[in-house]
Amino acid sequence: MARMQLLPEWAKQDAVLLTWPHADTDWRPILERAEAVYCELAKAICSRARLIVAAPAWCHEHIHQKLSAASIAPDCYKIYASQTNDTWARDHGPLTVAVGAQRTLLDFTFNGWGAKFESELDNCITGNLASLGAFNAPVKPIDTVLEGGALEIDETGALLTTAQCLLNPNRNPQLSKDAIEAHLRETLGAIKVNWLEYGYLAGDDTDSHIDTLARLGPNRILLYVGCDDPQDEHFEELAKMQAQIETFTNAAYEPYRLFRLPLPSAVYSETGDRLPATYANFLILNGAVLVPLYSDPNDAHALDVIGAAFSGYDIIGIDCLPLIEQHGSLHCVTMQLPEGVVNREKS
């Protein structure tokens, strides 16, 4: 009998979800620059998969105009009406589990990273998309708080996450570590859980999401962020993180093939706060990897490392400086929808 498992990001995809920024979100001061990044993302996505966009109905015509100006054909994407607080699709979007050919979309509760930000509208987006016929698979609401950026899984069923996020009392204070791990096994089919105890990024609002620090890939790939500057505030913590990662194995107890990503040079907000720039926040597409870039001398090295890890994939850089002004990056604003879950008649 086929086992149930969260599909890894490199499983074949039908589409990618974007929740579009608009003037009623925190993106307003830099909206034009943010939308330019979204259009670049949309163009790269549409060359490999379909694009699903969630946005309030009043801005649909504007989005159509933006995508048309980016030379994206209207039959490559579908916009669905949904009220939104923000744009972080990775964390309010659905997680797809499979049992053989059967797919189910899990709609976990999103509480704005521990009630830090308004999230009531974003928590309803997956349900809204389902009611509008976007999906060709059932959607299962789950009242546990969990964000997609908080976890990675590989094809063996080994799940990678951070204790700082999943064990934070601002998510599921009623659950112990053992209870959370049992829940990950029950809902996502995790066979083994690798708990990362170290690692953080200054300016991160997510309580150390794993997708800012370490990422999994096919065939025992594990990429992680390292820091070479002893004067940098991340140096000691990321060194401890690396030492722990070197002990991790997949569910077959095989060691990972490790690839060390550079840490971008420090980027600061207008108020002088450090922003959470990271090359780990890449998106795996059908046959390609979209990599966030920051106009940084380390950009080329990051592209080389990711290219070495993902042999045979096209490596595509996307300027994400505008995104980190809102404390997230490329992976944070996207959610892949695996093959078999998108209703092509509707999209």
Contact between 314 and 287 (Cβ < 8 Å): yes
Task: Collect all residues with Cβ–Cβ distance below 8 Å to 87 and sequence separation of at least 6.
Answer: 18, 19, 20, 21, 25, 27, 333
Please state, in angstroms and rounded to a whole number, the distance separating the CA atoms of residues 97 and 93: 13
Mean pLDDT of 59-68: 98
Pull the structure tokens for residue 178.
């053992």
Res 344: pLDDT: 81
Q: What percent of the chain has pLDDT over 70?
A: 99
Which domains are delineated in the chain?
4-338 (3.75.10.10)
Please state, in angstroms and rounded to a whole number, the distance separating the CA atoms of residues 54 and 134: 10
Q: Residue 347: is its pLDDT beyond 90?
A: no
Supply the DSSP string of 158-169, one letter for each residue: EEEEEHHHHT-T
Q: Residue 31: is its pLDDT beyond 70?
A: yes
Amino acid at 340: G
pLDDT, tens digit (0-9, with 9 covering 90-100), for 98-128: 999 999 999 999 999 999 999 999 999 999 9
Q: How far is CA 108 from the centre of its chain?
A: 15
Q: Residue 345: is its pLDDT beyond 90?
A: no
pLDDT, tens digit (0-9, with 9 covering 90-100), for 294-337: 999 999 999 999 999 999 999 999 999 999 999 999 999 999 99
- Return the number of other C-beta atoms located less than 10 Å from residue 199's C-beta: 23
- Return the number of other C-beta atoms located less than 10 Å from residue 318's C-beta: 18
Contact between 145 and 71 (Cβ < 8 Å): no
Q: Residue 338: is its pLDDT beyond 90?
A: yes
pLDDT, tens digit (0-9, with 9 covering 90-100), for 239-273: 999 999 999 999 999 999 999 999 999 999 999 99
Contact between 202 and 276 (Cβ < 8 Å): yes
Please state, in angstroms and rounded to a whole number, the distance separating the CA atoms of residues 114 and 286: 32
pTM equals 0.97
Q: Residue 87: is its pLDDT beyond 70?
A: yes
Indicate the pLDDT class of residue 1, thresholds 50, 70 and 90.
Answer: low
Indicate the pLDDT class of residue 284, thresholds 50, 70 and 90.
Answer: very high
Task: Collect all residues with Cβ–Cβ distance below 8 Å to 149 and sequence separation of at least 6.
Answer: 88, 90, 91, 206, 209, 210, 211, 212, 331, 332
Helix (H) or strand (E) holding 128: helix 125-131
Interior angle at CA 168, CA 251 and CA 220, nearest 5: 20
What average pLDDT does the chain have? 97
Mean pLDDT of 47-65: 98
Mean pLDDT of 278-291: 98
Q: Which of 212, 185, 218, 205 is nearest to 311 (CA)?
A: 218
pLDDT, tens digit (0-9, with 9 covering 90-100), for 150-194: 999 999 999 999 999 999 999 999 999 999 999 999 999 999 999
